[in-house]
Amino acid sequence: MSYFQSIYADENLPHRCKTVYIYLKDRSDASGSCWLGVKTIASDLGLSCSTVKRALKELERTGWIQTQSRYRENGSSTSNLYTILR
């Protein structure tokens, strides 16, 4: 059985969520964490930043991932920490 079988079977998730989830899983380390910017994800997948943001919010809302914002010392935003939960 494929690792991704459970996300493929989730009929309530739009295809954008499945695409972003598989990308995050592919980029994550052994603990299921990855540090990526929305622009990087969007560029790599050929999606708009707003589509990626919608997918990330939906994945977090439905319990597939956890998002943690990260900031530089000067207070500006940097890449987010995404953790795969399922």
Query: pTM value?
Result: 0.88
Q: What is the pLDDT of residue 1?
A: 56
C-alpha dihedral, 56 to 60 to 63 to 69, nearest 10°:
120
Mean pLDDT of the chain: 92
The residue-averaged pLDDT of 16-29 equals 96
Instruction: Tell me the mean pLDDT in the region 71-77.
Output: 85
Could you tell me the strand order of the sheet in which 80-84 lies?
Answer: 33-36, 80-84, 65-68
Residue with tokens 């990308």: 23
Q: How buried is residue 66: exposed, middle or buried, by Cβ count under 10 Å (0-12/13-18/19+)?
A: middle
5-84 has which CATH code?
Answer: 1.10.10.10
Q: What are the pLDDT digits (tens) for 41-69?
A: 999 999 999 999 999 999 999 999 999 98
Q: Are 24 and 65 in contact (CB under 8 A)?
A: yes
